[in-house]
């Protein structure tokens, strides 16, 4: 359970960082450092989400990797989790 909680926190941190950088890029579209930060944050976030979903199940409906069943309903709902 501790690993799951740590992964969720890391996903939240990277999601915030990516959103914050995207907002900065709205007003500074030519800032190469900000674009590099956005790109690296997006890649790290994608890796964290992939790790979480492989270990604990989908976070969203787009994380359903099973093609012969609807895996989304097999996991506890977000409010049922003890995270």
Task: Answer whether residue 61 shows pLDDT above 90.
Answer: no
Q: Comparing 61 with 26, which gets the higher pLDDT?
A: 26
What's the rounded Cα separation, in Å, for the pair 70 and 11?
A: 24
On whether residue 64 sits in a domain, the answer given is no
Q: Taking the CA atoms of the chain, what radius of gyration do you get in angstroms?
A: 15
On whether residue 66 sits in a domain, the answer given is no
| Predicted local confidence at residue 53, as pLDDT | 87
Q: Kindly state the DSSP code that residue 82 receives in the 8-state scheme.
A: -
Domain, as residue range, for 39 = 2-59
Task: Answer whether residue 74 shows pLDDT above 60.
Answer: yes
On whether residue 20 sits in a domain, the answer given is yes
On whether residue 83 sits in a domain, the answer given is no
On whether residue 40 sits in a domain, the answer given is yes
On whether residue 28 sits in a domain, the answer given is yes
Q: What angle do CA 12, 16, 17 make, to 5 degrees?
A: 115
Q: pTM for the complete prediction?
A: 0.74
Task: Answer whether residue 24 shows pLDDT above 90.
Answer: yes
Tell me the C-alpha to C-alpha distance, in Å, between residue 35 and each of 10, 29, 44, 46, 47: 21, 8, 14, 16, 18
């Amino acid at each position: 359970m501790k690993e799951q909680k740590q992964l969720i926190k890391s996903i939240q941190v990277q999601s915030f960082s990516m959103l914050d950088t995207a907002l900065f890029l709205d007003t500074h579209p030519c800032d190469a450092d900000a674009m590099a930060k956005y790109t690296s944050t997006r890649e790290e976030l994608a890796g964290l989400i992939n790790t979480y979903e492989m270990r604990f199940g989908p976070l969203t409906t787009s994380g359903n990797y099973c093609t012969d069943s609807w895996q989304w309903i097999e996991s506890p709902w977000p409010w049922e989790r003890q995270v």
